[in-house]
Amino acid sequence: MRPRTMFARDPLSNPEPLIRRVYAYAAYRLGDGPDAEDATNDAFERALRYRDSYDRDRGEPVAWLIGIARRCVDQILVDRVTVAEPPDVEAPVHLEDETLNRLELSRVLGTLSAQDRELVALRYGADLSARQIAELLGARTNTIEVALHRALERLRRQMTREQSRSHSAPTPEGVRIEPSPPV
Amino acid sequence: MKPFWSRQRSFNIEDELRRAKPEPRSEFVLTLAERLRAQRHGARPVLRVALAAALTTALLAALAPVGALGSAGSAAEGLVNAATRVAATHTRPLAGQTPATNQYNKKKKCPKGTKKKGTKCVKAKHGTKGARVSRRGPHFTG
């Protein structure tokens, strides 16, 4: 192992973009809101405490941070005593398209398995590449790519199902979706 | 109103996931970033020392071609000399050591074969170092 010097790059030298990526990852797994903020906060607290353990030869700071954030999110999922409710969906006619899209996507994401949701959060929330995800999860890149493809396919299928349901019957407000068990 | 995946003919779920990425509150980002910066700077004084050392090295390297090291060395030597001159104390007064005393106040030496005893020079005993040899060769036997 290469000896660490005091000139090693500080992983938290530019925190703002890192905070956004970690938050997006946490929000994809926990839902947008205070839980995601708590997880982000915890992740950065731990990162600050253990920043000497960061080895830049092993990857970018964001991959190291997401590794920490994963454990924080898992902890929050375990600590959740009551089943989390998805955000209340107001009458869609009053919302802007952008907000509506986000809410619909968030609702459909909640129907995915924990593993699929984790992959989507890592890829599209934290913006990690398949190779980085593979290193983080200790899997092969090809395996991750296939798993991601399948997760997206399931997401698309679920959306189609939702669409057909909305056509056949009026959508009830505040649909409750059972969250998937933690990874 | 139709859902977005049916509104767009060429719907790409990946683009949608990227576009709908959750964004943290700007207040949350600013607060957390400020706290991180404050804790980071407070806990790393070694970096400041490293910076000072690096700047000194860079300065020396930049001035070395124009003789900065030699100049610095002679300046240091001059400083040491000046300090020595100021700090030096004389154990005896030098007033009695004049050129005259140095020339005329020489001690008298005894001639060869004699040895100083008190204030006079006496003949040295036979066998002692520097004694005159009165006879050379073997004794006359007839």
Q: Write out pLDDT tens, residues B43-86.
A: 556 667 888 888 888 888 888 777 777 787 888 888 888 888 88
**Cβ pair B21:A152 closer than 8 A:** no
Asked whether residue B16 is assigned to any structural domain, the reply reads: no
Secondary structure element (H or E) that encloses residue B85, with its range: helix B68-87
Q: What is the pLDDT of residue B94?
A: 60
Q: What is the pLDDT of residue B95?
A: 62
Q: What is the pLDDT of residue A88?
A: 53
Question: Is the Cβ of B27 closer than 8 Å to some Cβ of chain A?
Answer: no
| pLDDT-derived band at B133, boundaries 50, 70, 90 | low
Secondary structure element (H or E) that encloses residue B61, with its range: helix B45-63
A78-100 tens-digit pLDDT: 887 555 555 554 444 455 666 76
**Would you say residue A141 has pLDDT above 90?**
yes
| pLDDT-derived band at B92, boundaries 50, 70, 90 | low
In chain A, domain spans: 15-166
- Min mean pLDDT across A33-37, A62-66, A127-131, A179-183 is at A179-183
Asked whether residue B132 is assigned to any structural domain, the reply reads: no
> What is the C-alpha to C-alpha distance for residues A1 and A114, in angstroms, rounded to an integer?
35
Question: Is the Cβ of A155 closer than 8 Å to some Cβ of chain B?
Answer: yes
Q: pTM for this structure?
A: 0.56
Asked whether residue B73 is assigned to any structural domain, the reply reads: no
Q: What is the pLDDT of residue A68?
A: 93
Contacts of B20 in chain A (CB under 8 A): 101-102, 105-106
Question: Is the Cβ of A89 closer than 8 Å to some Cβ of chain B?
Answer: no
Minimal Cβ distance to A10: which of B2, B20, B40: B40
Question: Is the Cβ of A90 closer than 8 Å to some Cβ of chain B?
Answer: no
Q: What is the pLDDT of residue A111?
A: 86
Please state the domain count of chain B: 1
Contacts of A41 in chain B (CB under 8 A): 32
Q: What would the DSSP string read from start to end of chain A?
A: -PPP-TTSPPTTSSHHHHHHHHHHHHHHHH-TTHHHHHHHHHHHHHHHHTGGG--GGG--HHHHHHHHHHHHHHHHHHH--SPPPPPPPPPGGGS-HHHHHHHHHHHHHTTS-HHHHHHHIIIIIS---HHHHHHHHT--HHHHHHHHHHHHHHHHHHHHHHHHHHHHSPPPSS---PPPPP-
**Would you say residue A31 has pLDDT above 50?**
yes
Question: Is the Cβ of A54 closer than 8 Å to some Cβ of chain B?
Answer: no
Asked whether residue B100 is assigned to any structural domain, the reply reads: no
| pLDDT-derived band at A7, boundaries 50, 70, 90 | very low
**Would you say residue A150 has pLDDT above 60?**
yes
Asked whether residue B31 is assigned to any structural domain, the reply reads: yes
**Would you say residue A163 has pLDDT above 50?**
yes
**Cβ pair B29:A19 closer than 8 A:** yes
The residue that leads in pLDDT, A133 or B16, is A133
Domain that holds residue B51: 24-61
ipTM of the complex: 0.70
> How far away is chain A from the Cα of B60, in angstroms, using its nearest Cα?
20
Distance of CA B55 to the CA centre of its chain: 19
